[in-house]
Amino acid sequence: MTERKKIEGRRALGKGLEALIPGAGAQGRTAAAPREYFLCPVDRIHPDPGQPRHKIDKDSLRELVESIREKGVIQPLIVRRDRDGYVLIAGERRWRAAQLAGLKEVHVVIKEATNKEAFEMALVENLHREDLNPIEEAEAYQRLIAEHGLTQHEVAARLGRDRSTIGNSLRLLGLPPEVRGMVLDGDLSEGHARALLQAGSAQAICALARKIAAGGLSVREAERMARAAAQGAANPKGGSPAKPAQSAQVRSLAERLQRALGARVVIADRRGKGRLEIHYTSYAELDAILDKILR
């Protein structure tokens, strides 16, 4: 068996918890046990079923295979021990590409991490590499909230992101499953997905999504069609006449509130009277909105 090498202290072979998760430095410094760095058989490594990323682009994977055949795996994988060998924390693309390139062994760094820490590390690595699809990113944030008990503020702090970014991402989970699948498959962009949220009913959103994907329409066109669909739903044929367009001041105020709250905001104003609607997609998002308003 290949001799294992010990790496003492904090050596920059990969990104440890301190480098990956802002604010975790104090915890990282108190851990005295060194990490292990060695050449590991690829068949002793397996992916984490809870990994944030669901899909790997085949074209980029082929490019990585060619690079590995030429230069090898430059950056070691980060793994943790389990009963079946080692489970990946970071580097699933490199692991898959190494197998396709015919490698029998790859360098790994063993990290002692809980399930929660491993998931956070995998999420941050994918975010830094921009490997996650917008839906995968939103689902990962939701898992940190639902399974790990974090608030949107805590997720933002741990991942070094603005809280409104987390809230806006989570809104994508309000799309119908069919449309989320189209975003995952790359048929619709994140901009298209955000535009479709304005369309109203799930049926209207799905119909528009199919039309946009089939026609290769732009985000601007998607926004226009979604607004028209929402207006049509609010004013069906034979119903009350269409409402006048909002003033620039009202639109500007709605946009400012959306940025401040990280949620969709609708203002219905008629001569100084009306209503203010704040939309949320989960109780966690509602809690974050209330924190903003009531603090």
Active-site residues: which are they?
92
Max CA-CA distance within the chain?
80
* Nearest Cα to Cα of residue 125 among 94, 170, 164: 94
* Nearest Cα to Cα of residue 108 among 41, 199, 62, 198: 41
- Judge contact between 143 and 105, C-beta under 8 A: no
* DSSP β-bridge partners for residue 275: 268
The owner of tokens 């085949």 is: 58
- Distance, CA of 239 to CA of 243 (rounded, Å): 11
Other CB atoms within 10 Å distance of the CB of residue 278: 16
